[in-house]
Structure 1
Amino acid sequence: MTQPKVTLVVSPRERFSYTRASLESIYANTDYPFDLVFVDVCSPESVQTYLKATSQSFKILRTDHYLSPNQARNVGLRYVLDHTDSQYVVFIENDVVVKRGWLTRLVNCAAETNASVVGPLTCIGNPAHQVIHNAGGQCYIKTDFKNGQARRRIKQSAYLTGRAVADVRDQLHRTPCDYVEFHCMLVRTDTFAMTGLLDEGMLATREHIDFCFMVAQTGGEIYNEREAVVTTDTLGLASNKAGLMARFGQLKLPDFQWSDLPYFMLRWSDRWDRASLDHLRQKWNLAEDKYFTKRYAGLGSRRHELLIQPIVQYLTFGKGSPWLEKLLISLERPFNNYWFNRYAQRFEQS
């Protein structure tokens, strides 16, 4: 029996410096045949050099400017739909490492359940595959009434987030759910005939929620295959919690390349975050309730976690300082807006 064809679409999450480790993990630990399309959204020269040296193994689709995650995914998705006969496309971000058997288990789950979407057990941080970030979850729209007015509200809860894999092994089995995340997500390609491409109005956040709503609207089913395991953010919070290193008095973030900073600042800009939340709310006719006000209040939180907080820890010798953190946030936010405007003007003129 012929195996279903699969194409992986690798696209950036927030930076480029883990590209090599991620691709090497995929090729070393994937025992199911696949094609791979790498969407290179203007990566630094060192990454481009590596990609060119290894591109005999995969297709590179390069853009000359930065793209949002859904825009980049659509570049790869269009190629898959137009140039391949793959039954499945797997979106996977460029900071993800995988555990052997991951893709076989995702494909088997889709084939055996007829699911439209399947996500793996997604872990976070170093060491890999030990702490759960996403194991699927519930997410649906509920209508209630306030002052006689109907309100549509998102109700969301995650399964097993923050739990150690070793503590919940009895729960690591295939589970139907309402959503999985784009860190790694297998989608049956014929699903896009009903949903269309990914919504590029979802620039920076909640795009997985939007897409899973679209899939559910078509009657498609979503599963989390917890025996398939990947890990994201191995360069992120877990590394930075170890603190900063000083070399001859020069500030250095562990495993963070400063050449990544321009894309990182755009990717997590207040403007893109806010626009995504506004678009989700308007698209699905949702009330501006606590779900949204909490996220509006948290604009820039990723920048604060990976840039501001480590700097504060360094300057205070690990003690921390709320007032210094607030000060740096107040200085960083205008800079982020300046960078966003500068990039937007350059892109519009190109």
Structure 2
Amino acid sequence: MSANTLPSVTIIVVPRERFSHTRESLESIYQYTDYPFQLIYIDGGSPREIRDYLATQAEIQKFTLQRTDYYLSPNQARNLGLNQVSSDYVVFLDNDVIVTPGWLTNLVNCAEETKAAIASPLICQGTPLHTEIHCAGGKSGVREENQGGRRRIIEKIHHQGRKVVDILPQLQRQTTGLAEFHCMLVRREIFDKIGSLDEKLLNTKEHIDLCMQVAQVGGEIYLEPTSLVTYVPGKLQTWADIHYYMLRWSDGWELASLQHLQNKWQLTEDEYFQNKYKRLGWRRNATIIYPLLRKLPLGKFSVRVVGKILRTIDKILNYFIGLNYIFHIKRQRM
């Protein structure tokens, strides 16, 4: 088929949780994508060096760059891009994802041949690249229990943590109940049925919400394992990374997101939500506090004491970062 008869695709790249992997991710898109595409890059408050890099690349590669001088929640950023899309398909891609040759062609082929509303690649995690599975599809939805009238959320990711070499030979194109926003291809017309992405989900479970909405209107989700990408969580290398990460995974954003998801789908506050509420801030503990503790020459008792102090400081600082963000947004909109 000629380029003029191929289904059109727009890739929307949005910030995930840091900025320092921007260059590697963007370069992989242009190096490994052989399918024609338009690109919309949403830059939500990146530091000056990243801002300047993106501006230069937008000129060179002729993609659309939209910047805000404040941080964005993921669905805010995705909707900013989605509002500009008229193509047959839209790809949502996080700014810390590395793609592989043929990734987009295989996703489009999957969607065209199956009429899928969403096509998900095999998503890997970490380094070495493309070796450990993060998500190979899964399950999402609501399970209704007659006893007590409870409605429980279904969330299951397949093969997380397994090695690609062990699992890939077993995988084939198949329907699935779960895709993740690290990378997914979506048929644009599905948004005519479900509306835009829910911006009240500030930082978590947005993919679950989308998958459930798509299923609700009869759309199908497919896993296409011949398309392979890797998201690269890593060290927070700059203050801008730390500052954005603190807001992106703030207690306030996570609590508001979980409560909204629970209310929206009329879900019972069971062990799933109770555990989530108890563990608010676990990502900051894992990414910021624990690595710092490991560097300190402390005994076991001292580690516990210092760790408790650091977690208390983190909670206080996190609260004020969230509060400052609210004030900043209000000033921007005046």
Which category describes the TM-score, using the shorter chain as reference length?
A: over 0.9
Q: Assess if the C-alpha contact under 8 Å between 1:172 and 1:227 holds in 2.
A: no
- 2:240 and 2:155 mapped to 1: Cα distance? 36
Please report how far the alpha carbon of residue 179 of structure 1 lies from its aligned counterpart in structure 2 after TM superposition: 1.1
Please report how far the alpha carbon of residue 145 of structure 1 lies from its aligned counterpart in structure 2 after TM superposition: 3.7
Q: Map 1:133-282 to 2 at 5 A.
A: 133-146=134-147, 149-232=148-231, 234-236=232-234, 254=235, 256-282=237-263
- Map Cα deviations across residues 139-167 of structure 1 (whole Å, 9 max, x no partner): 12111144xx3111112221111101111
Q: Does 1:64 align with 2:69?
A: yes
Q: Match of 1:117, as an amino acid?
A: I
**SS of 2:175 mapped into structure 1:** strand
Q: Does 1:45 align with 2:27?
A: no
- 1:145 and 1:330 mapped to 2: Cα distance? 42
- 1:19 and 1:223 mapped to 2: Cα distance? 28
**SS of 1:330 mapped into structure 2:** helix
Identify if the C-alpha distance between structure 1 residues 255 and 144 changes in structure 2 by more than 3 Å, giving closer, same or farther.
closer
- 1:256 and 1:18 mapped to 2: Cα distance? 10
Q: Match of 1:178, as an amino acid?
A: G
**SS of 2:124 mapped into structure 1:** strand
- 1:87 and 1:346 mapped to 2: Cα distance? 36
2:278 to 285, 290, 297: 297
Equivalent residue pairs, number? 326
- 1:66 and 1:217 mapped to 2: Cα distance? 31
Q: Which sections of structure 2, spanning at least 5 residues, go unmatched?
A: none
Q: Assess if the C-alpha contact under 8 Å between 1:8 and 1:90 holds in 2.
A: yes
Paired position in structure 1 for 2:117: 116
Paired position in structure 2 for 1:243: none
- 1:123 and 1:292 mapped to 2: Cα distance? 26
- 1:132 and 1:292 mapped to 2: Cα distance? 25
- 2:292 and 2:172 mapped to 1: Cα distance? 40
Q: Match of 1:220, as an amino acid?
A: G
Q: Assess if the C-alpha contact under 8 Å between 2:142 and 2:153 holds in 1.
A: yes
Please report how far the alpha carbon of residue 255 of structure 1 lies from its aligned counterpart in structure 2 after TM superposition: 6.0
Paired position in structure 1 for 2:268: 287
**SS of 2:123 mapped into structure 1:** strand
**SS of 2:130 mapped into structure 1:** coil
Runs of 4+ with >3 A deviation: 316-324
Q: Assess if the C-alpha contact under 8 Å between 2:138 and 2:177 holds in 1.
A: yes
Paired position in structure 2 for 1:242: none
- 1:317 and 1:231 mapped to 2: Cα distance? 36
Q: Match of 1:111, as an amino acid?
A: E
Paired position in structure 1 for 2:83: 78
Paired position in structure 2 for 1:20: 23
Please report how far the alpha carbon of residue 256 of structure 1 lies from its aligned counterpart in structure 2 after TM superposition: 1.7
**SS of 1:79 mapped into structure 2:** coil
- 1:47 and 1:304 mapped to 2: Cα distance? 26
Q: Assess if the C-alpha contact under 8 Å between 2:90 and 2:185 holds in 1.
A: yes
Please report how far the alpha carbon of residue 317 of structure 1 lies from its aligned counterpart in structure 2 after TM superposition: 7.4
**SS of 2:292 mapped into structure 1:** helix
Identify if the C-alpha distance between structure 1 residues 30 and 318 changes in structure 2 by more than 3 Å, giving closer, same or farther.
farther
> What is the Cα-based RMSD across aligned positions, in Å?
1.6
Q: Assess if the C-alpha contact under 8 Å between 2:155 and 2:208 holds in 1.
A: no
Q: Does 1:7 align with 2:4?
A: no
Please report how far the alpha carbon of residue 318 of structure 1 lies from its aligned counterpart in structure 2 after TM superposition: 11
Q: Does 1:347 align with 2:318?
A: no
Q: Assess if the C-alpha contact under 8 Å between 1:176 and 1:223 holds in 2.
A: yes
1:310 to 291, 298, 301: 291
**SS of 1:20 mapped into structure 2:** helix
- 1:67 and 1:169 mapped to 2: Cα distance? 35
- 2:303 and 2:222 mapped to 1: Cα distance? 43
- Map Cα deviations across residues 43-72 of structure 1 (whole Å, 9 max, x no partner): 110011111111132110111221100000
* More displaced 10-residue stretch of structure 1: 117-126 or 309-318: 309-318
Q: Assess if the C-alpha contact under 8 Å between 1:235 and 1:255 holds in 2.
A: no
